[in-house]
Structure 1
Amino acid sequence: MLYRKTALLTAAGAALAALAAPHAAYAAEDARGTGRPALDGSGECTFPMKKQFAGRPWSLQRVLLDELWQDTKGKGVRVAVIDTGVDNTNPQLQDAVDASAGADYLEGGTSDGTVDEVGHGTKVAGIIAARPRKGTGFVGLAPEATIVPIRQNDEKNSGKDTTMATAIDHAIAEGAQVINISQDTTKPLTPTSALGRAVARALHKNIVVVASAGNDGMDGKLRSTYPAAFEGVLAVASSDRNNERAPFSQAGAFVGVAAPGVDIVSTVPGYGQCTDNGTSFSAPYVAGVAALMRAKYPKWTAAQIVARIEQTAERSVNGHDDFVGWGVVDPVRALSGDDTPQDAAHPDAGPPKAQAPDPARLSMSETSQERSERYATYALVLAAVLISVVVGTATVVRDLRRRRGVQ
């Protein structure tokens, strides 16, 4: 079973769980890979907060929201958040969460998925579907989508790959069209594992499965994390304000795209908002885009939606790399342009090749024949000039003699 150390914060006498800060996550890497999916968030904040962020967060400033929402805001789309629960008392989530469809798969859990003692799942849900609220510029990317809250982990990382598999099956049963999983394990899992089979069932039901890539990328090593690395899952890395990979973001060939994951604002249990860092908060950014696409293109397959998100990402290289996948997600481009679906992303077509001109022939030196011909030309020209001079002189002499009466 996979275990990952997390930092615990204490506020107002209560033990509040915080997601491990990047440096702590890296130090805890040797505790990974033992079977228990770890939360991918990093950073510290306490809750409930007494304030909201008034301005538009940077991760939303890069998106023209009016253009993004020109056709849909995700109404009718159900997004399952398999996490630490989703607290629906936050004003921006009260109308977003379908508590009747929720579930709690922690040992001894009795909630409907709306208990979140960590705050992690509430942040994830807010990035996807937080409703607009007066006094704050923060809003979810799909602010009319519905969240299906599924509690599967806690501050002790009690969740297992087997309980995550059960949570996925619950999401399928509740009609989820998108599933967000902001947890990972470095334990190698095969497609025939319980989690692998559950992911396959979701994909078979045409559900878009989005998962965080993980936060152990500071050492620069490539490694696969699960469920992100399963075939068909859209694995999301973190990018910063410069559209470059965040240093903590896990790299690997399985990465599909990157999305903002640094200083990310979102909702917390009870009231208010705080900022956090991690691929946990990059994944729901992409899940929100997928929810909008589900609403706009209801006949598209899950694979076609993933392909469009990857194909329209902002690329620094023409193709795929291990750090940001196909590039940093561009929500507006994903929702605009050609309505013809494609089944897989591909490198951009390069500019058309120009027709090469006929090569110019270069001569290194003059041949003997060419030299003789040149001299002959000079001789002919010189002879013509001399004849002209002689003829001209004779004419002048003749005319002078006539004038003097000399015959």
Structure 2
Amino acid sequence: MRPPARLLHGAGLAVALLLPVAAPAPATSPARTPTALPAADGKKGQELPGMPAALDPRADEAACTPASGEKAKKQDWSRQRLDLDRLHGHSTGAGVTVALISTGVDPEAAGLDGRVTAEGAAADDCVGHGTFLAGLIAGTGGGTPKLVGVAPRAKILALRGTDRRGQPDP
């Protein structure tokens, strides 16, 4: 008996998403800030600062990660490869709520337009990582419509999976 095509597609997607997690760790530690990659148009890509996943646990009192002063001006190569304009022709995420388990999400973040539900500590994102991910998922791009998220009309349910400093907390 042959399984339905929808089941195979879902299984393939699950494998594709889990494969990078299952890959062995590199022998050397990766650089803290990613290197610039060439854009799809052959020009030099964006050079935005790296996003921390946690604050230094050894520091007695670390300040929260400030918002970057740098602004992206165009789509980077990865967004061009995803072909978000074509994807948004099929769906923009309207009516969908995405649960995001991370360092929290700032409900007042630009581009999320009041579509974040974050109770208690989940509304405090000192590290900034969860808010960054929420923008990739459901950001509207603010004044730059070419920098929208994958599902710009989706809602975000922020759940905190770390302490205030970004350390995992069951």
Smaller-chain TM-score range? 0.5 to 0.7
> How do residues 198-347 of structure 1 correspond to structure 2 at under 5 angstroms?
none
For 1:138, the equivalent position in structure 2 comes to 147
For 1:22, the equivalent position in structure 2 comes to 30
Q: Compared with structure 1, are the counterparts of its residues 97 and 44 closer, same or farther at alpha carbon in structure 2 (3 Å cutoff)?
A: closer
Distance in 2, Cα, partners of 1:64 & 1:90: 25
Instruction: Letter of the 2:123 partner, please give it.
Output: T
Q: How far off its partner does 1:47 sit?
A: 2.1
Q: Compared with structure 1, are the counterparts of its residues 133 and 123 closer, same or farther at alpha carbon in structure 2 (3 Å cutoff)?
A: same
For 1:121, the equivalent position in structure 2 comes to 130
For 2:169, the equivalent position in structure 1 comes to 159
Q: Compared with structure 1, are the counterparts of its residues 79 and 156 closer, same or farther at alpha carbon in structure 2 (3 Å cutoff)?
A: closer
> Which stretches in structure 2 are left out of the alignment for 5+ residues?
1-28, 33-49, 53-64
> Cα RMSD (Å) of the superposition?
2.3
Residue number among 81, 99, 109 corresponding to 1:62 in the alignment: 81
For 1:364, the equivalent position in structure 2 comes to none
Q: Compared with structure 1, are the counterparts of its residues 158 and 66 closer, same or farther at alpha carbon in structure 2 (3 Å cutoff)?
A: closer
For residues 244-294 of structure 1, the C-alpha deviation after alignment (integer angstroms, 9 at most, x for no partner) is xxxxxxxxxxxxxxxxxxxxxxxxxxxxxxxxxxxxxxxxxxxxxxxxxxx
Q: How far off its partner does 1:50 sit?
A: 2.6
| Equivalent pair of 2:106/2:124 in contact (CA under 8 Å) | yes
Instruction: Letter of the 1:89 partner, please give it.
Output: E
Distance in 2, Cα, partners of 1:152 & 1:122: 13
Distance in 1, Cα, partners of 2:115 & 2:134: 9
Residue number among 101, 105, 108 corresponding to 1:86 in the alignment: 105
| Equivalent pair of 1:86/1:114 in contact (CA under 8 Å) | yes
Q: How far off its partner does 1:44 sit?
A: 4.6
Question: TM-score scaled to structure 1, two decimals?
Answer: 0.25
Distance in 2, Cα, partners of 1:124 & 1:66: 19
Q: Compared with structure 1, are the counterparts of its residues 47 and 58 closer, same or farther at alpha carbon in structure 2 (3 Å cutoff)?
A: farther
Distance in 2, Cα, partners of 1:92 & 1:85: 16
Instruction: Letter of the 1:79 partner, please give it.
Output: V
Q: How far off its partner does 1:149 sit?
A: 0.7
| Equivalent pair of 2:92/2:152 in contact (CA under 8 Å) | yes
Q: Which has the larger radius of gyration?
A: 1
Q: How far off its partner does 1:84 sit?
A: 0.7
Tell me the SS of whatever aligns to 2:131: helix
Identical aligned residues as a percent: 36
| Equivalent pair of 2:51/2:129 in contact (CA under 8 Å) | no
Question: TM-score scaled to structure 2, two decimals?
Answer: 0.57
Distance in 1, Cα, partners of 2:51 & 2:150: 23
Distance in 1, Cα, partners of 2:70 & 2:158: 24
Distance in 1, Cα, partners of 2:141 & 2:134: 14
Q: Compared with structure 1, are the counterparts of its residues 156 and 80 closer, same or farther at alpha carbon in structure 2 (3 Å cutoff)?
A: closer
Q: Compared with structure 1, are the counterparts of its residues 156 and 146 closer, same or farther at alpha carbon in structure 2 (3 Å cutoff)?
A: closer
Q: How far off its partner does 1:158 sit?
A: 4.4
Distance in 1, Cα, partners of 2:146 & 2:166: 33
Instruction: Letter of the 2:154 partner, please give it.
Output: A
Q: How far off its partner does 1:23 sit?
A: 5.1
Tell me the SS of whatever aligns to 1:60: helix
Tell me the SS of whatever aligns to 1:62: helix
Distance in 1, Cα, partners of 2:31 & 2:84: 34
Structure with higher RCO (Cα < 8 A, 6+ apart): 2
Distance in 1, Cα, partners of 2:103 & 2:141: 23
Distance in 1, Cα, partners of 2:84 & 2:126: 31
For 1:53, the equivalent position in structure 2 comes to 72
Instruction: Letter of the 1:64 partner, please give it.
Output: D
Distance in 2, Cα, partners of 1:135 & 1:147: 21
Tell me the SS of whatever aligns to 1:22: coil
For residues 272-319 of structure 1, the C-alpha deviation after alignment (integer angstroms, 9 at most, x for no partner) is xxxxxxxxxxxxxxxxxxxxxxxxxxxxxxxxxxxxxxxxxxxxxxxx
Q: How far off its partner does 1:136 sit?
A: 6.3
Instruction: Letter of the 2:133 partner, please give it.
Output: V
| Equivalent pair of 2:103/2:129 in contact (CA under 8 Å) | yes
Q: How far off its partner does 1:132 sit?
A: 2.9
Q: How many residues align?
A: 112
Instruction: Letter of the 1:78 partner, please give it.
Output: T
